[in-house]
Amino acid sequence: MLSEEEAFNLVETILKPNYLNDVQALVFRQCWQGETYQKIAEQNGYDPDYIRVVGSRLWQLLSETLGTKITKSNIHTALRQSLNKIPSLSINPLAQLPFPDGTVPVDSPLYMERSPVENRAYTEIIKPAALLRIKAPSKMGKTSLMLRIVAFAQKNDYHTVRLNLQQADNSLFTHLDRFLRWICANIAHQLNKHPRLDDYWDEELGSKVSCTTYLQGYILESLDHPLVLAIDEVNHLFEYGDIAQEFLPLLRFWHEEGNNIDIWQNLRLIIVHSTEIYIPLKLQQSPFNVGIPIQLPEFTLEQVQKLAALHSLSNLIDDEGKESLKNLMNMVGGHPYLIRLALYHLYQDKITMKQLLEEASTPTGIYHHHLQNHLITLQKNPDLAQAFAKVIKAKEPIQLERIIAYKLASMGVVKLQGKQVFASCKLYCLYFANFL
């Protein structure tokens, strides 16, 4: 009997080099569970007729690929028979397992949807003048989510532009005019338009008015569909206080102009940044609290089991193996990067879970580089180090000064529960107890 995850992986193997898009994946998984199209639509905010069309086209695609009639009602039997008839089919589509460092590609089965996060983002981005704000500690999957929102927008015939502020030369951050011209030139380039910056730039009106006029009069007026502008690594901007104080309010102004001028409703913004940047800044809250905040939860046990299956770690999926995964999550929580790093080494290096957990907090463990980065940050900020030392020594959640608690949570080393603070995972307690 195929599990849902095995069936999903089998379908993606059958359809290679293509993969199911997010809506197709949703329909397949919930149909596999026996849900009706009507219920799928109601639970996920879609039109029922749209879901029926997606399902119909999916079964047709599978029927044409396998050469046998596939329907919603016979999918279990049909896939099981296909697996028996074609032994070369593998339920693990990962021919080469990538090292878990960086963005998860849009077509990768390793991306774990954290419902309802994705569906909410897809619903919001198609609203007039939408602004989504994705913030989290590093390696939580911010950019991977952003790429999927952009891909969703493209499937809905939206124009899309992606900017990464780390790609901007440092010299651009020395003057607002140069920075805004770089933003506009990039937008034009990605939309295959001639820049025409000088036609809209007016020194007497100033850089922000010129930039706004350029976006409204040249870019937005010329497009037949809404534009999604996704700006990644906005945290890089926070290192340049003067530019940040000018550019962030400008983004807010563009967003709010949708209430006043219809054409600005066609601009949809996605802002992505890591929260670690809050630590050196004298902040009591996020420097950009506007739009819809998108929170990224940690993985659940079920999601970790699915990842283990994709890593060919079938010994960790059954009831006995589940205890090993629980032990792993007890050590690192559901942190996406820490989980994937463990599964990668369990598969690639053929080490045991027992060995991995015993060495996790030591210099020979797989998390040493990650832990060192946090240690360097704490050593540069003695007030944070002192407070975190209290947290890991306490047996129960404790209360810290509000800004200190906020910055530790921004690092990802603690979690907040009301006014109480506790360590994010056992790994941090074991490692930092030796240094703080």
Are residues 374 and 362 both part of a single domain?
A: no
Are residues 184 and 133 both part of a single domain?
A: yes
Pairing of strands 267-274, 227-232: parallel
What pLDDT score does 432 carry? 95
Q: Is residue 209 part of a domain?
A: yes
Q: How far apart are CA 270 and CA 268, in angstroms?
A: 7
Are the C-beta atoms of 161 and 187 separated by less than 8 Å?
yes
CB atoms within 10 A of CB 24: 17
Q: Is residue 378 part of a domain?
A: yes
Confidence of residue 17 (pLDDT cuts 50, 70, 90): low
Q: Is residue 264 part of a domain?
A: yes
Are the C-beta atoms of 132 and 149 separated by less than 8 Å?
yes
Q: Is residue 111 part of a domain?
A: no
Q: Which value, to the nearest 10 degrees, does the dihedral of the CA atoms of residues 206, 211, 216, 219 take?
A: 150
Q: Read off the pLDDT of residues 113-150 as tens digits, 9 standing for 90 and up.
A: 998 999 999 999 999 999 999 999 999 999 999 999 99
Q: Is residue 67 part of a domain?
A: yes
Give me the phi and psi of 293, to 5 degrees please.
-75, 135
Q: Which region among 72-81, 87-96, 423-432 has the lowest average model confidence (pLDDT)?
A: 87-96
Q: Read off the pLDDT of residues 197-235 as tens digits, 9 standing for 90 and up.
A: 999 999 999 999 999 999 999 999 999 999 999 999 998
Are residues 219 and 245 both part of a single domain?
A: yes
Q: How far apart are CA 91 and CA 43, in angstroms?
A: 28
Total domains, the chain: 4
Are residues 239 and 287 both part of a single domain?
A: yes
What pLDDT score does 181 carry? 98
The predicted model gives 170-183 an average pLDDT of 96
What pLDDT score does 81 carry? 78
CATH number, residue 131: 3.40.50.300
Query: Which H helix or E strand runs over 228?
Result: strand 227-232
What pLDDT score does 82 carry? 73
Are residues 169 and 277 both part of a single domain?
A: yes
Q: Is residue 323 part of a domain?
A: yes
What pLDDT score does 280 carry? 65
Last residue of a domain, one of 252, 276, 294: 294
What pLDDT score does 179 carry? 98
What letter does residue 112 receive in the DSSP assignment?
-
Q: Is residue 105 part of a domain?
A: no
Last residue of a domain, one of 275, 294, 313: 294
Are the C-beta atoms of 344 and 104 separated by less than 8 Å?
no
Q: Is residue 99 part of a domain?
A: no
Q: Name the residue range of residue 394's domain.
A: 368-432
Are residues 163 and 273 both part of a single domain?
A: yes
Last residue of a domain, one of 366, 384, 410: 366
CB atoms within 10 A of CB 308: 25
Are residues 183 and 237 both part of a single domain?
A: yes
282 pLDDT higher than 80 = no
Q: What is the model's pTM? A: 0.78
Handedness of CA 207, 213, 218, 222 (dihedral sign): positive
Are residues 250 and 343 both part of a single domain?
A: no
**Which is nearest to 430 in space by CA: 361, 364, 335, 375?**
361
Are residues 189 and 248 both part of a single domain?
A: yes
Are residues 74 and 139 both part of a single domain?
A: no
Q: Where are the alpha helices (DSSP H) in 115-240?
A: 117-125, 142-155, 176-190, 197-200, 207-214
Are residues 233 and 323 both part of a single domain?
A: no
Per-chain mean pLDDT for the chain? 89
Query: Which H helix or E strand runs over 302?
Result: helix 301-310
- Residue whose tokens read 């080469």: 96
Q: How far apart are CA 204 and CA 429, in angstroms?
A: 57
Are residues 382 and 347 both part of a single domain?
A: no
